[in-house]
Structure 1
Amino acid sequence: MGYFGFVLVYCLRVTVSIGVAAMVNSSYAPPRDINASGEYCEERGANGSMRQEDTGEFDWDSETQEFILAGFFYGYIFTQLPGGWLADKFGGKYIFALGVLSTSLCSLVFPVASYAGAGVVFATRVVSGIGEGVTFPAMFSMFSNWVHQEERSRLAVITFSGSCLGNILGQAISGVTASSGFLGGWPSPFYIFGSTGLIWFVAWLCLAYNTPAEHPRISMAERKYIESGVTQKSISKVKVPWGKILTSMPVWAQVVAHMTACWGYFTLLTNLPIYMNDVLRYDLTMAGVLSAVPYAVQWVTMIIAGQVADYLINTGYLSRTAIRKIFVSTGLFGYGVTQALVALVGCNGALSVTFISLGLGILGIAFSGYLPNTLDLAPAYSGSIGGLVQSSGPISGILGPYLVGVFTEDQRNLQGWQYVFYISFGVTTFGSLFYLIFASGYEQPWASNNDTSKQEHKRGYEKI
C-alpha cells in the first residue's frame, strides 16, 4: 500500500509538468531573433511526432511557467520536519494518509484554479506541496517499525521506487489524455489521478497499521521476526536529540546527498516534458511517452541496486558504510556526467533520451544507497531525521526551476538548457565528494537510547 501511495503522489506531481506544456499557447513565446545567439532544433518530420503549435489556452511566459512548477516546493519544504516529528510521536499511518489526500484534492481543483489566474494556480501547488511534504518522513517512521535491518535496502527502495512507476504512468498517461478530447483534454489527468487518490486513501485507512503489534492479522512468527530486527520505540515517549542530530556529519552527508540528487532529479521532473516539447520539438503525446522512459530505467535500477546492496552487506563482502558510499557517490557523479553529455549532444533526440535515461538510471543507484541510510544512522528517530533530510530537497526544487526560467527566457533556445545541464553536473559532483568523505552506515552512539525493554515486548506477545 505504501508503494502504491508513492505511485499516486508522483503521478499527481508530474501531471502538472505535462499539463503546463499542454495549457500554454506556444505562440506567446518571444519570436525567434535570427540575429540572436543560440541554437534551435529543427521540427521533427511528419511521422506523428511533429510538434503542433498554438494549442494552449493560457498566455504564460517561461518565468510564469517555472514559477507555477516550483510552487509545489514552496509548500513541500515546510512540512518535512513537522511531518517526521508527528509521525515519530503519533505514528505514520494517518500522517501519510493525510498527505496523499490533500494532494489528491488539490489535483481535482487544479483545472478550475487555472482559470482564476496564475496566482491561484501557484497557491494550489503550494497547498499540494504542504500535504505531500509529510509522505516521505511518515514512511521513514513506519519503516523503523516494520523493516528488519537485513532487508532495509531492498524493502525501502522497493517502496520508494513507486515514485518511478508514478513518473512513468503519470508522464505517459498525461501525455496521451492531455492530447485527446477526453474530459476536456489537459484537465483529464488531474481528474483521473485525483479521483484515484481518494480511492487509495480509503483503502490505506482500512489496511495499514503503525506497528506489527497493532496489525490484527499478522502471524506471531512474522511479528517476532520483524521486531527482532528493528529498534523498538515507545511512540508516545519519543524525545528527539536535535542537538546531536544537527551536529552529526553523517546526517549532514545525508542532507547534502539528498539535496544534490534532487537538484538534478527535480529539474528534470518538472521540466523534461517542456524540454522534449519545446526544445527537441516532439509533439505532446510523444513528449509524455519519451519523458517516461528515463523513469522506467530508474525504476529497474533502484530495485536491482537495493537487492545487491543488501546481498553485499549481509554476506560481509563489504561494510555497510562502504556500500553506502560506493552506491551514492557513484550514482551522483555518474548522473552529473550524463547531464554534461546531454548538453553536448544538443538536438540529437535519440542520444538525448539515451543519456537522460542512463543518468536517471545511475541516479537510482544513489537513491538505493542514501534512502535506507536514514534507518542505519538512527532507527528510533528515522522520521525526524528523514524529515530533516527530505527538507533539503525542496530547496533544489525551488532553485532548479528558477534557474531554468532565468537561462531559458526563450524555452526553445538550446543554449540556455545547456547551461542548466552543466550546472547539474557541478552540483551532483560536489554531493558525491561530500558523501564519500562524511557518510556512515552504522547506528550513531546518540541514537541508541530509546530502546524498549525485551520484557515489554514479551508481554505484548502474550496479549495476542
Structure 2
Amino acid sequence: MAEESSTVDIDTANRNGKSGKNEIDLVPSTFHLSDTITSDDENGDYSYNKMRNVAQTSFPCSFKRYLLAFIVVLAFIAAYSMRFNLNLEFREMVLNMQGNSSVSVGENNRSNIKVFHYLWEPHLQGFALSVFFYGYTAMQIPGGWLAHKFGGFSILSFSMLVSGILTLLEPILITTGYAAFIICRILIGVAQGPIYPAMIEFWKEWSHPNDRARMVTTTEIGASIGTIFAMILPSVIVQRLNWSSPFYCFGIIGIAWPILWIAVSSRTPRSHNCSCMNEVSVGKESDEACMPEYNEIPWKLIFTSLPVYAYAIAFFCEGWILFTALTHIPKFLLLHREYDITHTGIKCIIPFIGQMIMLFISGFLSDLFISRDYLKPTIVRKGIYVIGNVISAACLITIGFLDDLNAALICLFTTIIIDGATRSVMLVNPLDLASPYAGFIMGIGHAACNLAGCICPLMAGHITESMAIERWRFVFGITAGISLLGAVAYIVGGSAEEIEGISSMNNKNKYKSLPTADSENVHLLQKENASPGINDK
C-alpha cells in the first residue's frame, strides 16, 4: 500500500452487525487505512492492526473544531439579536400620541440626535413581534430538507446573509408603512427558519460521536447570549446614536458573518483547506464517510417511527415550558406582585447566564457518560430530559401560590436554567436517531417547539382575561401537566438508538468515492462491506 496515510473512521461499526455483516467490536475510532487494513488471504479476510482509539486519548485538530463552534456561536448571537431587538426598539419608537414627531434622545439629551416615534396600537405591536415566528415555524421542516440537500455549511451562510440584508431594510420599511414592515419580519423568520437544521447538519459532518453533545450545546449557548444582547444593546446604541442604529449594527454583523464563515470553514472536514484537518476523520462512520453528497430522505421510515414522534412531542412540551417562563410568568409577577423583571438590570439576565452554564454542563456530562460507557445513550438522554421536566413542573405549580417575591423569582429562574438541560437533549437527539437525516428530524422537532410558542400565548391570554390569580394558577397548572406529559412521552417512545432501517437505507447508496484514500483502499473498504464480518472468522 501507499506510504502516505489516508484516513477513514469507524464510529459504531458494530451497528452493522444487525444485518450479519461487518461485526467489528470496536469503540468509535479513527485509523489510517494504510496502517491498519491488511489482507490475510485472497478470499478477502481482513485484519485491523495499529488501531488508535482517538476518542479515548487525544483528538487532533480539536482546537479547529472548537474554533468553528465559536464562529457558529457568533452566528446564533447575531441571529437572536436580529430576532429579538425589536422588543426594545418599540420602547423607543412608539409613543401614545397621534402622528409622529421629532424629539431628542438619550440621557445626555443631545439636541442633534433625533428620532421619529410612530403610533402603533398595542395589538399591532404584538402582531409585529409575533409574525417573525409565523415564517420561522413554517420554514422548519422545509429548512430541514434544504439543509439535508445542500449541507449545513451552505444553508447557514445563506440564512445569515439574507437575514442581515432584510434587517438593514427594517428601519427604511418602518417609515414607509406597516404592511411593508410586517412582510419584512415574516421574511426574516423564513430566512432564519433553517438555522437549527443547518447547525445539526454541519455538526453531523464535523463532530465525533463522543463530543456531539458538547459541540451542539456549545453552539446553542449563542442563542442565550444573543437574547441577552437583544435585551441590553439596543438601549445602549439608541442612547448614543439613534433609533435605527441597532438595525444597522445587527444587519451588518449578519452580512459580515458569512464572509468569516466561508473563509475558515467548509462543508466537510475532507474538503477543508487545512492539511492537518484532512488527516482527521471526525466521527463519520465508514458507511457515511463515503456516501453520496445527497440521498433521498426516507419519508415513510421517519414519519412512521415512534422515537421521532416522541421526540417531536417532547420538543413541543419543552417549548411550551420555555415560552411560559419567558412571557407569562413575568407578566404574572408584574400584575400580582408588582414587580417588573425587565427593569431590574442584571437580574433579568441571570437566568440566561445560568441556562448557558447548564447547556454546557449537560453536554459535557452526556458525552462523558456515553463515551466512557457509564450509561447507555438512551438512559442518559431520558434521564436528563425527565429530571428537567419534573423540576420545571414543580416550579410552575409552586410559583402561583408563593407570596414571597424572592421565592417566586427563584422558581422562575430555576425553570429557565433547567431548560438548558432539557434543551440539550432535544438538540442532539436527531443525531442519535438518524445521523444522515439529522437536519430534517431537527426541522420536525423544532417546528413542534415553535408551534407551542404560537399556541401557548393564545391559550394563556384567553384564560387570564379576568386577571384573577386563580386563572394564572390554572395556566401554570396546565403548563406543569404538559411538562409531565412530555416526560411520559419521552420515557415511553424516546430513544437514542438509530431508527431501525436507517442503515439499510443508507447501504442502498453505494460508496461514491473516498476522497483521501487511494484506489486500493477504496477497493478494500468496498470489498469488506460485502464480505463476512471480521469477528466471524
Report the TM-score when normalising by structure 1.
0.82
Query: Cα 1:403–1:154, aligned 2, differ >3 Å: closer, same or farther?
Result: same
Gapped runs of 5+ residues in structure 2? Answer: 1-70, 99-115, 520-537
2:133 to 53, 73, 81: 73
In 2, the alpha carbon distance for the partners of 1:268 and 1:230 equals 43
Alpha-carbon deviations, 1:42-67, whole Å to 9, x = none?
xxxxxxxxxxxxx9753423x44432
Aligned equivalent of 1:15 = 85
Aligned equivalent of 2:236 = 177
Alpha-carbon deviations, 1:164-218, whole Å to 9, x = none?
12122222323x427x533334x44333322222221221122221111110114
8 Å contact from structure 2 (residues 77, 227) kept in 1: yes
In 2, the alpha carbon distance for the partners of 1:122 and 1:415 equals 36
SS at match of 1:456: coil
Question: How much has 1:297 moved relative to structure 2?
Answer: 0.6
8 Å contact from structure 2 (residues 342, 348) kept in 1: no
8 Å contact from structure 1 (residues 18, 288) kept in 2: no
In 2, the alpha carbon distance for the partners of 1:254 and 1:24 equals 41
Gapped runs of 5+ residues in structure 1? Answer: 29-54
2:436 is aligned with 1:394: no
Aligned equivalent of 1:48 = none
Question: How much has 1:429 moved relative to structure 2?
Answer: 1.9
Aligned equivalent of 2:484 = 429
2:352 to 264, 276, 295: 295
8 Å contact from structure 1 (residues 232, 380) kept in 2: no
Aligned equivalent of 2:119 = 58
Aligned-partner residue type, residue 69 of structure 1: L
Aligned-partner residue type, residue 86 of structure 1: L
In 2, the alpha carbon distance for the partners of 1:190 and 1:418 equals 38
8 Å contact from structure 1 (residues 144, 231) kept in 2: no
Aligned equivalent of 2:146 = 86
Query: Cα 1:76–1:220, aligned 2, differ >3 Å: closer, same or farther?
Result: closer
Aligned equivalent of 1:34 = none
Question: How much has 1:123 moved relative to structure 2?
Answer: 2.5
Aligned equivalent of 1:2 = 72
Question: How much has 1:441 moved relative to structure 2?
Answer: 0.9
8 Å contact from structure 1 (residues 72, 125) kept in 2: yes
In 1, the alpha carbon distance for the partners of 2:164 and 2:207 equals 27
Query: Cα 1:284–1:337, aligned 2, differ >3 Å: closer, same or farther?
Result: closer
What are the within-5 Å matches in structure 2 for residues 154-303 of structure 1? 154-174=214-234, 176-177=235-236, 181-185=239-243, 187-219=244-276, 222-227=279-284, 231-232=288-289, 234-269=291-326, 286-287=343-344, 289-303=346-360
2:459 is aligned with 1:403: yes
In 2, the alpha carbon distance for the partners of 1:145 and 1:456 equals 16
Alpha-carbon deviations, 1:123-150, whole Å to 9, x = none?
2321111011000111111111111111
In 2, the alpha carbon distance for the partners of 1:315 and 1:255 equals 29
Question: How much has 1:330 moved relative to structure 2?
Answer: 1.6
Between structure 1 and structure 2, the one with the greater Rg is: 2
8 Å contact from structure 1 (residues 154, 310) kept in 2: yes
Aligned-partner residue type, residue 486 of structure 2: G
Question: How much has 1:375 moved relative to structure 2?
Answer: 0.2
Query: Cα 1:105–1:397, aligned 2, differ >3 Å: closer, same or farther?
Result: farther
Alpha-carbon deviations, 1:55-100, whole Å to 9, x = none?
9753423x44432222111101222122221222221212112222
SS at match of 2:297: coil
1:440 to 473, 478, 495: 495
2:171 is aligned with 1:97: no
Query: Cα 1:161–1:18, aligned 2, differ >3 Å: closer, same or farther?
Result: same
Query: Cα 1:285–1:390, aligned 2, differ >3 Å: closer, same or farther?
Result: closer
In 2, the alpha carbon distance for the partners of 1:277 and 1:229 equals 56
Question: How much has 1:440 moved relative to structure 2?
Answer: 0.8
Query: Cα 1:105–1:225, aligned 2, differ >3 Å: closer, same or farther?
Result: closer
Question: How much has 1:250 moved relative to structure 2?
Answer: 0.5
Q: Name the Cα RMSD after superposition.
A: 3.2
In 2, the alpha carbon distance for the partners of 1:330 and 1:79 equals 31
Aligned equivalent of 2:202 = 142
8 Å contact from structure 1 (residues 147, 230) kept in 2: no
In 2, the alpha carbon distance for the partners of 1:440 and 1:233 equals 26
Report the TM-score when normalising by structure 2.
0.72
Q: Between Structure 1 and Structure 2, which shows a larger proportion of helix residues?
A: 1
Aligned equivalent of 2:30 = none
8 Å contact from structure 1 (residues 338, 355) kept in 2: yes
8 Å contact from structure 2 (residues 363, 424) kept in 1: yes
Greater relative contact order structure (CA < 8 Å, 6+ sep): 1
In 2, the alpha carbon distance for the partners of 1:66 and 1:20 equals 10
In 2, the alpha carbon distance for the partners of 1:234 and 1:76 equals 31
What are the within-5 Å matches in structure 2 for residues 348-359 of structure 1? 349-359=405-415
2:421 is aligned with 1:375: no
What are the within-5 Å matches in structure 2 for residues 324-343 of structure 1? 324-343=381-400
SS at match of 1:106: helix
* Percent of residue pairs identical: 27
Alpha-carbon deviations, 1:285-343, whole Å to 9, x = none?
73564332211110000101111111111222211111111111122232232233333
User: Which stretch of structure 1 is more off in the superposition, 122-131 or 435-444?
Assistant: 122-131
In 2, the alpha carbon distance for the partners of 1:391 and 1:277 equals 30
8 Å contact from structure 2 (residues 325, 416) kept in 1: no
In 1, the alpha carbon distance for the partners of 2:140 and 2:290 equals 21
SS at match of 1:344: coil
